[in-house]
Structure 1
Amino acid sequence: MDGHLSLIFGRVGQPVLSKMPTKYRRKGTTTRGNWSEESLQNAIDAVKNGMAVMKASKNFGIPRKTLERRVKKNDCIKRNKDVHALSSGEKGETISVIASCNAEGTFLPPVAIFKGKNKKDEFEDGMPPGAAVYMSEKSAYVNTTLFLRWLEEMFIPRKPNGKVVLVLDGHASHCTSVELLELADANDVVLICLPSHTTHFLQPLC
């Protein structure tokens, strides 16, 4: 018999037995060479502006592996041009990043937290459009004040209308502030805090 049986799961989660031919091409797959450099560049630009690689691959008809490779190549070229020398006092310093994305692969512009009082222009070099830098005098770790600022400046203005769920790790800065909880409630943001050190087990995006 030319073919084999494969188990497929539909939208409702019910298994369906389906006969699939040996030579099967998934619908929407772009064959090698059926895309232009212009389409590739448009896809790269879309990824740089926040679109997920998978979505850009489908929208512009570029093979996913090709798009990933070219995005990484372009990023490496830009990084080489934007290298800044660090003084001895800055070497070894770490930063924190507040990142947010959904299951579709869409992400909000990140916020980088640097230790210090005065922000330097080069801190924003290479960051995507809309990204921000927050300064913290004591440490580069996120705290309640910085997270509240992120929620107010970065998340709430970009959320869709109606209630949304925001899943957070169990860091104390995310769930111990009354002001934070009131701000979320007033803007239809439902906060769900995962237990500490369980994010990699629970995998909330899966």
Structure 2
Amino acid sequence: MTSFKDEIENDKMPAKLRVLVGNWQRKTDRAPSNDMLRRAAKDVKDNSISERQAALNYGVPRTTLKRYILASSPEKQKIGTYKGVTRYKFMPKDIYNTDESRFATVQTPGKVVSSLGKKKVGATTSQERGELTTIACTINAAGNALQPFYIFKRVRWNNASLNGTPVGLIGTAIKTAWMDTEVLSNQNLPFLITNSRCSQDKPVLLLLDNHVSHVSLKTIVLAKNSGVVLLTLPSHTSHRLRPLDRTVFGTMKIFFNGALDDCMRSNPDRSIYTYDTEALYACAFVKAMTL
């Protein structure tokens, strides 16, 4: 007497029963087997049946089957290399990534330790709704980091905004506190060019996302004349490909929240404003950039 598994492998089971068994296996295993995907993809590639019919016959999701076929195609297996790496012969110290993230003056409180059986346990925050500040960071593949660039939510710039920060740090004031084309081309990119000491004879590679503020004509012309090769990441992939998102910003926000918690415990009777956070940003930045 043959089992269901033997009948499926030998293609002796009726199509409708195969669908029922496949649905049961999918609900229990939560994922189609590689053998089922391989056999379904083989039938589609041989042009014997369509993707929809193969998904029904083998009990696999149609979207999963389609992605499996695309991933196993010869065109997808030929992984290309960015030609600029071999053309310019970039070293790790010449490959930079610039990105920005927003920080608020209202922290997310961490876990609170209390005695057993206590009903009400809470933590203090600075304000109900705080102010946002954008911090643009730049790192390279060698593990080095440039000074962060601050974008404060203000109309006019005040030098007191950088009190308690390291020497050489710069910033600007914008009404929206977002990175825009003027800030990138007039301040942030020239700051990178000055500190990386790049030129047309010694270019550097700068990785950016596809945001509209990063691909303006003024930025491209400045980068080309200064020896900065711009490479933008594909849409909807930056959260996986950007080194700063993957390794720095999450850790930096944890350290910044911890610094705000310590500040609130030391000063429980006052709120924290933007002028009080510059030194906390710098401290969190140094800890997050430590290898």
Task: Return the TM-score normalized by structure 2.
Answer: 0.36
Whether the 8 Å CA contact 1:95–1:113 is kept in 2: the answer is: yes
Aligned equivalent of 1:164: 204
Equivalent AA in structure 2 for residue 126 of structure 1? G
Shift of 1:135: 0.8
Shift of 1:92: 1.8
Whether the 8 Å CA contact 1:109–1:129 is kept in 2: the answer is: no
Aligned equivalent of 2:144: 106
- Structure 1 gaps of 5+ residues are 1-85
Structure label with greater radius of gyration:
2
Q: CA separation of 1:97/1:118 partners in 2, compared to 1, >3 Å: closer, same or farther?
A: same
Shift of 1:160: 3.2
Q: CA separation of 1:196/1:126 partners in 2, compared to 1, >3 Å: closer, same or farther?
A: farther
- Structure 2 gaps of 5+ residues are 1-125, 247-291
Equivalent AA in structure 2 for residue 174 of structure 1? H
Aligned equivalent of 2:223: 184
Shift of 1:151: 4.0
Shift of 1:197: 4.2
**1 CA distance for matches of 2:213 and 2:227?**
20
Q: CA separation of 1:195/1:129 partners in 2, compared to 1, >3 Å: closer, same or farther?
A: farther
Whether the 8 Å CA contact 1:143–1:173 is kept in 2: the answer is: yes
Greater relative CO (CA pairs within 8 A, separation 6+): 2
The yes-or-no answer on 1:147 pairing with 2:187 is no
1:13-58 Cα offsets, whole Å, 9 max, x none, are xxxxxxxxxxxxxxxxxxxxxxxxxxxxxxxxxxxxxxxxxxxxxx
Percent of pairs with identical residues: 33
Task: Return the TM-score normalized by structure 1.
Answer: 0.50
Structure 1 runs (4+) deviating above 3 angstroms are 203-206
Shift of 1:97: 1.1
Describe how 1:26-45 pairs up with structure 2 within 5 A: none
Q: Secondary structure at 2:194's aligned position in 1?
A: helix
Describe how 1:11-26 pairs up with structure 2 within 5 A: none
Structure ranking higher in helix proportion: 2
1:31-90 Cα offsets, whole Å, 9 max, x none, are xxxxxxxxxxxxxxxxxxxxxxxxxxxxxxxxxxxxxxxxxxxxxxxxxxxxxxx9x8xx
**1 CA distance for matches of 2:181 and 2:152?**
15
